[in-house]
Each structure stands twice: as C-alpha cells, then as structure tokens.
Amino acid sequence: MTYGHYIKEIGRGAQVARDLSQEDARQLYAAMLDGGVPDLELGALILGLRVKGESLDEMLGFLAATDERTHQFDMPHGRGRPVVLPTYNGARKEANLTPLLALLLQRFGVPVLVHGLIEGYGRVTSAHIFRELDVLPVASVLQAQAGLDEKGLAFLPLSALCPGIHNLLSLRARMGVRNSAHSLVKLLDPFRGEAVLVAPATHPDFIDLMRNIMQVRGQRGLLLRGTEGEPYANAKRRPRLEHVHDGVSDILFEAEHESLRTLPNLPEAADAASTARWIRRVLDKQIPLPKPIANQLACLLFASGYAEDFNQAKAIVAVEATGMLTGSN
C-alpha cells in the first residue's frame, strides 16, 4: 500500500486540501494503527491533517478503524449504564478532579471505566492521584472487566485498551504537536454504544464536531468543555453540560459566564498528594462538594439510567450531598 495519493489530497494546505472519504479514512487509519505506514509518510500525514483539520467523514472513518482494534467489554453489574471517563490531559494549573467524579459515581453504584495515560507530559495525571487513593491501574482488559464487576471501578491504561492508538498518541513527544489520536481517544467506545461517554472538548470549535460524531454513531454521552481537557466540570464556573442520546442533543445545564459568588474550597496545590487528600475530605463530607461537579454528577445519574428523569437525578444528588454542596449562585 502506498500513501502518496493520501498525502497529496490532504497536504495541499488549509485552503485547497481535500477531505478523504469515510472509507479512505478508515483504510488509511487502519494502516496507521497497525504500524504499517513508514515514518516519513506517517509524519507527512499527521502534519497534513493537523494543518487541514479533520472532517466529520474522516473522523468517522478513523473511529471505525479504531473500533475494530479497541478491546470490548461486557456490560458490568451495577445500577444503570456504565460511564466511561477518558483522562489524557492531566493537571497543569488546576487540580485534576477526574478521580473525584469517578469515585462519586462508584458510590452510587454506577460502574465507571476510566482509561488514559499513566504519565502525561509532565502533568499530574489521574493515575498519579488514583495511586494516592489506593486505586491502581490494571494490566489487562480481563482485570478491568473484573474490577467493574466486583468493585464498580477500573482504571485501564490506553496501552492495554487500544495499543495502536497509544502508539500514535505517543508521537507527540517526537513531533511536538497533537494529532488526530488526541481527539479520537476521547470518543473510544469499549461498550459499543451501551455506555455513557463523557466527552471533554479542549477547544470550543471541537464541541460541534464531537456532537455530530456522537449523533451519527448513535452514542450516548455527556459533552462538555473539559477542565484543561479533563472530563470534569470546572469547579469554579460550570460549562454547558449537554446530553447526547438517540441522535439528538439536550442541554441539561447552560454554561455559567461568571465565576461562582462563593468560590469552592479547592485543593491547596495541584500535586497528586494534595489533590488526593482533598478528595478524601470531600468524600467524607468534611468539606463541600463544588456545585458544578454536583451538577455534572446529576447529569450522569440521569444519562446512565440510575434516575428515572433529570429532576429525580438532581433531587438525589441534593439529598445525598446535603452538607457537601457549595458555590450556589
């Protein structure tokens, strides 16, 4: 298989480059995932797509190829559909609260699969914080399945979930730029449409593309502007929380455009130990749960089917978190 014609199509520059068809995109990305594209051509393809930007059909084709190479899970026992949390950005300025969201869902009996990186470009990853909380990454899909069935929570490294896309993601260290894999990992669907995907967009422009992808693929999910790219709501100012299901999208909470009047008590530092101590105190109801994260929790209890309707989900969170909530406007 040769790749010059693909490079010619997508590498003409942002104004005149041509999008690939969905099938061509699937075939090309399959070769990229399988390690079949030589380094020179692979670099050209990555940079060409970076400059041009991926189209909807290209992303659908890339995801089709990725689906074929992503390990699949059986539906775990639990209350409601499982929730999938992709964690790939880590903390740079703000404490990473992805582990808090996962542990809150686990408390309600909603199974949670977290997948991501162990190390993250010098940032504090969810894996670092989970380790401080005595939640260790598993080594295989079988162990992750057992963790979901027995404990309702598992953290699976991307290298075990989909080795091919892990290899493409790692090229950032060599090339210095993001590639399509950084967006695709946030849409991985190990439950074939049966789970609730929490899809965090790093940039506002990508939210529309992610919504279209999920609607075309018939996925269920919660779409939001992630906090530093992580899948939890900003504790200081809630983003729009959007429920995607059955090919449509409903806004459950609008974005707050001003910071909360009463700022929440947040970790004193962004390191793993400080964040883990703060999470333990929140779970023990020693300090309040930030209202935006409580709002996101209600959205996920509704989307997962734990609650019969959204009002019930909000009421459940309000009752359960009595004394935990802070930051009301």
Q: Which residues contact 3 (CB under 8 A, 6 or more apart)?
A: 28, 31, 37, 38, 41, 44, 45
Indicate the average pLDDT of the chain.
93
Taken in order 293, 260, 258, 88, the sign of the CA dihedral is negative
pLDDT value of residue 262:
67
Helix (H, G, I), strand (E, B) or coil at 184: helix
What CA–CA distance (Å, rounded) separates 326 from 322?
A: 10
Report angle CA 293, 325, 329 to the nearest 5 degrees. Answer: 85
Beta bridge partners of 249: 244
pLDDT at 277: 97
Q: Is the pLDDT of residue 141 over 50?
A: yes
* The pTM of the whole model exceeds 0.85: yes
- Between CA 45 and CA 29 the distance in angstroms is 10
Confidence of residue 260 (pLDDT cuts 50, 70, 90): low
Residue 186 DSSP label: G
Residue 326, pLDDT above cutoff 60 = no
- In the chain, pLDDT over 70 holds for what percent of residues? 96
Mean pLDDT of the region 62-66: 98
Residue pLDDT, tens place only, 93-116: 889 999 999 999 999 999 999 999
What whole-number distance in Å separates Cα of residue 152 and Cα of residue 160? 19
Q: Phi first, then psi: what are they for 20, rounded to 5°?
A: -80, 155
Share of the chain above pLDDT 90, in %: 83
**Which residue would you say has higher pLDDT here, 123 or 197?**
197
Neighbours of 245 (CB within 10 A): 16
User: What domains can you pick out in the chain, each with its CATH number?
Assistant: 4-67 (1.20.970.10), 83-326 (3.40.1030.10)
Those residues whose C-beta lies under 8 Å from the C-beta of residue 16, and which sit 6 or more positions away, are none
pLDDT at 1: 79
Per-residue pLDDT reduced to its tens digit, 292-320: 999 999 999 999 999 999 999 999 999 88
pLDDT at 15: 80
Average pLDDT over residues 31-35: 98
Crossing angle of the two packed helices 22-33 and 56-67, in degrees rounded to 10: 40
CA-closest candidate to residue 121, choices 163, 177, 159:
177
Strand partners, 76: none
pLDDT at 90 over 50: yes
pLDDT band at 324 (very low <50, low <70, confident <90, very high): low
pLDDT of residue 257: 83
pLDDT at 325: 52
**Residues in contact with 96: Cβ distance below 8 Å, sequence separation at least 6, in sequence order:** 87, 90, 123, 124, 125, 126, 129, 228, 230, 270, 275
Beta bridge partners, 278, equal: none
The yes-or-no verdict on residue 138 having pLDDT over 80 is yes
